[in-house]
């Protein structure tokens, strides 16, 4: 059976609205696909036994929820043995409440790395068998790539939405930080944690965002882009994509200040470690029961000085002002979503380095799928937008997706 078979959210919503299918049929399809493939993929940790009807604009589409986000009636175990006996959540997280209002129906919870850091879960990659699906929203990315659901929730503190989307060949959106409250989400770094979503295409992401917020979709149009190549093996791919976009009508110019991005990249892990040690102080006290990766992060953060943390925050604040100046007359920064395709094996989740500068600033980021390397592995592009301008960003992402699709 084909593992990689993303399910179009836009098609499903249209089919439900036109009466060609029903929400009950959609849930049955989701459950059948999960039953057929999840023994091999291991994307899910729990399933909702009985479902409530939904009436919002999404019309009752099945939704997956990352297991650091509270879903009433199921425990929030955060991928950690420390939460093995967690009781069921008494209520939904605010983000789940918003998705229910939009018409999504949560059907279960998906695998996360331990407390959304680097220790891998068991999930495989439907688009690249034998390769990591990325972290920490690995279960949600795999569930969308496999066609278990057309919509899944993730979160990002470093690169936990953008990277798994790229590795699994699906689209994603990292929301502007603070756009929707994080109540009911087990966080890692309050200055960096953001909500995210996974869908099959950038077009689906635009539809999902409109349903969630009520903002009208922005029609696709040729964007003005600044191109940043990052690091890794994707330079030729980004150059080829930028050339194709220019030929189709976009503006694509070189990002003028790579040193700025380097400074933001360096400041991000300082903030993350310092805040994680304090946000997860309870777990730090039991660090000998945590994965080596998470224990090291918390101990490193606990040993950091307040002065180092404040300097990193000052670097980020100054960098944000400079980036706003640079990007004032552009729509987005175009960059590779990860340094390369998904690394082989499940022992590590890959490198989030290309997401750190944008995550430090809390910007909206869209991942556009569709590219492949010479071996056929997915390669994603990220479009970095402006704070609280998700609709405009997704309009640009839809145009980029259309222009790059053969």
CA torsion, ordered 171, 353, 342, 292, to nearest 10 deg: -120
Q: Within its chain, how far is the Cα of 42 from the centroid?
A: 18
Is the bond preceding residue 129 a cis peptide, omega within 30 degrees? no
What phi and psi, each to the nearest 5 degrees, are found at residue 69? -110, 130
Among the options 119, 160, 194, 263, which is catalytic?
160
Spatial distance between the Cα atoms of 1 and 28, rounded to a whole number of angstroms: 18
End-to-end alpha carbon distance in the chain: 25
CA angle 3, 114, 129 (to 5 degrees): 20
8 part of the active site: no
Active site residue 160: yes
CA distance 89 to 360: 30
Reduced to 3 states (helix: H, G, I; strand: E, B; else coil), residue 120 is: coil
Any residues with CB less than 8 A from the CB of 200 and at least 6 apart, and which? 6, 7, 8, 9, 144, 150, 170, 171
Residue at token pair 């029961």? 289
Percent helix, strand and coil across the chain, each to the nearest 5:
40, 20, 40
Distance in angstroms (rounded) separating the CA atoms of residues 259 and 273 = 23
Q: Could you tell me if 250 and 320 are in contact, meaning their C-beta atoms sit under 8 angstroms apart? A: no
Reply yes or no on whether 176 is catalytic: no
- One of 66, 137, 138, 263 is an active-site residue; which one? 66
C-alpha–C-alpha distance, residues 35 and 290, integer Å: 31
- Give the CA angle between residues 96, 37, 369 to the nearest 5°: 65
Task: Say which of 119, 136, 176, 210 is annotated catalytic.
Answer: 136
Nearest Cα to Cα of residue 119 among 339, 277, 275, 289: 289
How far from the centroid of its chain's Cα atoms is residue 321's Cα?
25
Q: What kind and span of H or E run contains 349?
A: none
Give me 222's structure tokens: 């040729």
Active site residues: 66, 136, 160
């Amino acid at each position: 059976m084909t593992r990689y078979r993303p399910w179009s959210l836009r098609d499903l919503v249209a089919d439900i609205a036109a009466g060609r299918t029903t929400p009950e049929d959609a849930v049955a399809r989701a459950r059948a696909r999960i039953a057929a493939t999840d023994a091999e993929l291991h994307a899910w940790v729990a399933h909702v036994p009985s479902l409530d009807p939904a009436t919002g604009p999404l019309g009752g589409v099945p939704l997956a929820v990352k297991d650091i986000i509270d879903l009433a009636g199921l425990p929030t175990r955060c991928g950690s043995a420390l939460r093995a006996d967690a009781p069921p959540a008494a209520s939904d997280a605010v983000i789940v409440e918003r998705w229910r209002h939009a018409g999504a129906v949560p059907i279960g919870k998906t695998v996360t790395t331990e407390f959304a850091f680097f220790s891998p879960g068991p999930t495989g990659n439907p688009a690249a068998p034998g390769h990591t699906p990325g972290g920490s929203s690995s279960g949600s990315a795999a569930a969308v790539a496999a066609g278990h659901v057309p919509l899944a929730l993730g979160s990002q503190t470093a690169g936990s939405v953008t990277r798994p989307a790229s590795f699994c060949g699906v689209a994603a959106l990292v929301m502007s930080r603070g756009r929707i409250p994080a109540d009911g989400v087990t966080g890692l770094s309050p200055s960096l944690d953001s909500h995210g979503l996974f869908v099959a295409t950038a077009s689906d992401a635009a539809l999902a965002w409109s349903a969630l917020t009520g903002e009208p979709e922005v029609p696709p149009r040729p964007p003005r882009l600044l191109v940043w190549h990052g690091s890794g093996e994707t330079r030729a791919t980004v150059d080829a994509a930028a050339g194709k976009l220019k030929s189709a009508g976009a503006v694509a110019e070189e990002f003028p200040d790579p040193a700025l991005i380097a400074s933001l990249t360096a400041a991000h892990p300082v903030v993350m470690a310092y805040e994680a040690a304090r946000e997860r102080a309870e777990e730090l006290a039991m660090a000998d029961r945590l994965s080596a990766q998470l224990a090291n992060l918390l101990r490193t953060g606990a040993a950091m000085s307040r002065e180092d943390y404040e300097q990193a925050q000052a670097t980020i604040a100054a960098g944000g002002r400079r980036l706003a100046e640079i990007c004032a007359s552009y729509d987005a920064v175009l960059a590779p979503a990860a340094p390369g395709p998904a690394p082989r094996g499940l022992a590590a989740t890959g490198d989030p380095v290309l997401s750190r500068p944008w995550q430090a600033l809390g910007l909206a980021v869209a991942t556009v799928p569709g590219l492949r390397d010479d071996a056929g592995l997915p390669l994603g592009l990220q479009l970095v937008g402006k704070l609280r301008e998700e609709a405009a960003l997704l309009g640009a992402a839809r145009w980029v997706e259309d222009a790059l699709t053969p």
